[in-house]
Amino acid sequence: MFPQALLMKEMSNIKKIRTIEKAPVFNEPFKKLRVCAYVRVSTNQAEQQESFFAQVQHYTSYINSNPEWTFSSIYSDHGISGKNAARRPEFMRMVQDAENKKFDLIITKSISRFARNTADCLETVRKLKLLGIAVQFEKEQINTLTTESELMLSILSSVAEEELASISQNMHWSNQRRFKKGKFSVNTKRFLGYDKDREGDLIINEDQAAIVRRIFKNYLSGLGASRIAKGLEADEINNISGRVKWAESSIRDILKNEKYAGDARLQKTITTALYNRKRNSGEAPMYYVKDSHPAIISREDFEKVQELMKARAKSKGNIEGNREKYTNRYALTGTIICSNCGNTFKRHIDNCGTVAESVCWICSTYIIGRKNSCGVGRIKEDTIKGLFVKIFNQLYNQRAKLLGDYKAKMEREKLTELDNERIAKLDEKIEKLIKQERALFLIEEKGYADHNLVKSEHEELVKTLTQLQTERSDWMAEINKRDNRVARTLELETILEVQGRNITEFSDDLYGKLVEKIVVKERTKLILQLKNGLAFEETYTLKRGHDIF
């Protein structure tokens, strides 16, 4: 067949395709983008206060001046470091409002204003992306809904974190220099008994000093911290915050503070690599300055109090240095998780020392920022323990069916040849895409293709590669989880067999052996997950005194 005839035959086989243009939509309502801004400065210094108010004013005007935007809100943390998101109430409120779909776009000055912790920055941005909400960083010109934003954000937020580390190191060096010279600074607004003169030196506030002397005198006379606190409240004496409320821990802190004897121990706390403050237990040098300022308590009385405190602690079995028993002092510690913000719950005593005293567990984010940060609130300890007893007895009585069904389910999910084949195919696709990526870089380097074209192709390639890698990681994690669940289920059967009966009250030992975590979905809904993956959802009704479940 001649080439021309062959060409005509091929052309006759080509399908004719006509493009049908999109029909115009008339009178379609224009939807404005709801925009908010987040601003933050880390200190209360005058210069930063001016910067803070300038940022608020700028973004209010900037958002309102755009005809395609509608102003939503300004979220502002001032005098707060960006090291930890959970300690910024306005930041947490913004995330909460994002979940409630109150805006579509967040504008902020820079990554360092948004967060100086890489993990916090990426976690928050990813959470917002899943909600379809973009973050626009003005300085870096990044919009987080674009494909390449993840890589750029990771690099730049790491730089912000390194900058914070550098600042921290400089401050640490400066503090060390001051400490070695015996110089220090005290916030007298939060320190009972002292004021500052014009030179910044400590001077005694006689009205407050009388309270300090009373506390030391009462302790030497035989009263404990609790009774001293109650006595101060009974006499309606204000604490340093101006309220008639005294905590035992505050009394003990006053009794142990060497500054009341005219001395100063410097660098009692240090900052860890994760930017958390902790007690200095020898990781860094401390400096003790004698007679650094006027004393409220005589050195003799102060030393008597220290000896008395040690003797009383020893009589109760509290040996200095033995802190292990406080790490996980309660069985529930670290196991109760808030589904709203992801933080753990902490133990709290309401109405301490009264007939109405009760123990509850509160989300740590709620403790810091109250309802603006997390709305889950508190749960009574008796309720959590009662629900565990109920679930354990249900599990024990129906163990044959519950564990039998669960083992059968895991058996069906065991790794098969199909799983191996699926993983092999994913590996093959990933390897192919990596080779394509290298080829794209080479093409651009040699100047064989336009930069914008390569960029567009690379964005699509990275998107597909990320999806495949995520799919493979999730699949492998699921396979590993299956194997672990089988072993844990066998352990669970043994524990139930050894127990041999129902329980009538909460057991710390059983809880520790069986429970992986408790997820608080709502104030009245909990999910108790066992270590083998088996989960029980329980609801209860709030009631004054004892909840109903």
Domain 188-325 has CATH 3.90.1750.20: yes
Distance from chain centroid for Cα 292: 39
Nearest CA among 116, 104, 125 for reference residue 34: 104
Quickly state the pLDDT bin for 35 (edges 50, 70, 90): very high
CA atoms within 13 A on the CB side of 363: 26
Residue 547 has pLDDT above 50, yes or no: yes
pLDDT category of residue 373 using cuts at 50, 70 and 90: low
Region of 276 please: left (phi>0), alpha (psi -120 to 50) or beta: beta
The proportion of the chain whose per-residue pLDDT surpasses 70, expressed as a percent, equals 68
pTM over 0.85: no
Q: How far is CA 464 from the centre of its chain?
A: 31
pLDDT band, residue 417 (cuts 50/70/90): low
Residues 373/379/380/386 CA torsion (nearest 10 deg) = -160
Specify the amino acid at residue 399. R
Q: Tokens 């006689």, residue?
A: 206
Domain range summary for the chain, segments of one domain joined by +? 33-165, 188-325, 336-387, 396-535
Q: What are the tens digits of pLDDT across the range 82-117?
A: 455 556 788 888 988 998 889 999 999 887 778 756
- H helices of 184-298, where? 206-220, 225-234, 248-256
pLDDT at 393 over 90: yes
For the CA atoms of 96, 98, 101, 102, the dihedral, rounded to the nearest 10 degrees, stands at 90
- Under CATH, domain 33-165 is a member of which superfamily? Resolvase, N-terminal catalytic domain (3.40.50.1390)
Distance CA 470, CA 458 (A): 18
Token pair listed for 228? 């001293």
Task: Kindly report which listed range (44-53, 285-294, 465-474, 486-495) carries the lowest average pLDDT score.
Answer: 44-53
Pairwise pLDDT comparison (470 vs 419), residue with the higher score: 470
pLDDT of 268 > 50? The answer is: yes
- Which residue is listed with tokens 């550098």? 166
pLDDT computed for residue 3 by the predictor: 42
DSSP 505-527: S--HHHHHHHEEEEEEEETTEEE
Rounded to an integer, the average pLDDT of 424-451 is 73
Pick from 152-156, 438-442, 472-476: least confident:
152-156
> At how many degrees (to 10) do helices 451-499 and 417-446 cross?
150
Q: What tokens appear for 529 in the block?
A: 């997950």
Proportion of the chain in helix, strand, coil states, percent, rounded to 5: 50, 15, 35
The pLDDT value given to residue 471: 77
Indicate the burial class of 65 (C-beta count within 10 angstroms; 0-12, 13-18, 19 or more). exposed
Tokens representing 236? 């309606």
Percent of the chain surpassing pLDDT 90: 18
Tokens standing for residue 262:
């005219």
